[in-house]
Amino acid sequence: MNTPQTNFNINNIKSTFLRSIFGLQNQHLPIWLMRQAGRYLPEYLAIRNKAGSFMNLCTNVDLATEVTLMPINRFNLDAAILFSDILVVPDAMGLGLSFVENEGPRFAKTINTISDLNTLQTDNIMDRLQYVPNIIKNLKTKLPTNIPLIGFSGSPFTLACYMIEGASSKNHSKIKAIMYNNSDFMHQLLTIITNSIITYLNAQIEAGCDTVMIFDSWGGILTDRDFLEFSLPYITQICKSIHNSYNGIPIPKISFTRGLNHMIGNIASTKVIDVIGVDWTCNLSYARELTESHTTTNSNKVTLQGNLDPVLLLVGDKPALKKQVERILHDYYISNNESLNNLIFNLGHGVLPHTNPDHVAYLVDIVHDISMNFKM
């Protein structure tokens, strides 16, 4: 539980993850992995079988806590991410989420016409999402104090994709039909989602999350102009509206748009995003160059997070993994005035099913070890 802190001193932060964001000296580079609690872990598959369905796992405080802690117990990771899903928000709005075996998420109801917006149940949304703060409070009693907890949500645009398409989609033709032909409708939907996400992320922070991340997983299907109209302004509004600090402790905001690395400068120019996720398709030196002329609200340097190819972790042998880690660190170091500060190592997207957990352990340990040869 959060207790009011009156004399909080940033220099006393123990977490390597938070220290990196605040540009403080670190012993080694922090690393965590998107989808670190997931289907590549045998213990996850076992508990998922026992729970019966993915939603049973997400809504049960004890089980969701146990799954969040699985990768923390197994690997030397520097941060935990709440076990949940971005799609629990549209579920709480009344769309009826289920996960079909080998098919992915599916909604019973979808948004097709502007009149469907009136059917979205957004009043008192936290009544239907109360299990999430309950999981967070439970986790905070179990996590070591140097391991921060990352809360998260989808971006409004990414959630709108699922709410309109009803499931994963190949070319997103339904959402694009609305976006291109009826942009007012699109903006109305995005505004409704944005307001619910602000409530939801504030509830996560109040329950104890140390940072929050916005997954804009489908931002990359947009042209850059449409990204600037339909995705980034809503992410910005969320970051501006949620707690900048809580109980006197700053709450960093992370945003990750997959597939639009050339927009990283625009993302940094909002000044309200502390950490920007970088997928695996661009060099970190390019991302650093794009962020160089911007600082965050708290006058910190923008932190970068990424950018190892998740397929390398799936198929690469240990020498290949080591070579790529060395390259990523070297490229960042050179472009960041010969320092590894303001970097968080991660994959460029989530850990893939069938990834060998031994390789995950190896990756975490070599990132720590190799980074100690660099100035931080």
Q: Considering the candidates 40, 44, 162, 246, report the single residue annotated as catalytic.
A: 162
Tokens of 223: 């042209």
Closest CA to 226 of 198, 192, 271, 257: 257
Tokens of 227: 């990204």
Which x/- pattern over 206-235 shows residues binding ligand 1CP (rule: CB under 6 A)? Answer: ---------x-x------------------
Long-range contacts of 281-284 (CB under 8 A, 24+ apart): 281/348, 282/307, 283/331, 284/328, 284/331, 284/332, 284/335, 284/343
State which residue, 110 or 285, has the beta carbon closest to ligand 1CP: 110
Is 350 a residue that touches ligand 1CP (CB under 6 A)? yes
What residues contact 346, with CB distance under 8 A and at least 6 apart? 31, 32, 33, 34, 277, 305, 306, 307, 308
Considering only the stretches 34-42, 110-118, 194-202, 296-304, report the one whose residues sit in contact with ligand 1CP under the rule CB under 6 A.
34-42
User: Judged by CB under 6 A, which of 24, 54, 137, 195 binds ligand 1CP?
Assistant: 54
CA pair distance 77, 64, nearest whole angstrom: 18
CA pair distance 219, 260, nearest whole angstrom: 7
Is 153 a residue that touches ligand 1CP (CB under 6 A)? no
Is 278 a residue that touches ligand 1CP (CB under 6 A)? no
User: Judged by CB under 6 A, which of 40, 152, 246, 280 binds ligand 1CP?
Assistant: 152
Q: Which of residues 155-174 bind ligand 1CP (CB under 6 A)?
A: 168
Tokens of 213: 């991340």
Residue type, 28: H
Closest CA to 198 of 228, 155, 164, 163: 155
Nearest approach in angstroms of CB 8 to ligand 1CP is 28
Q: Considering the candidates 85, 91, 216, 279, report the single residue annotated as catalytic.
A: 85
Applying CB under 6 A, the site for ligand 1CP has a residue count of 21
State which residue, 36 or 291, has the beta carbon closest to ligand 1CP: 36
State which residue, 35 or 240, has the beta carbon closest to ligand 1CP: 35
Is 85 a residue that touches ligand 1CP (CB under 6 A)? yes
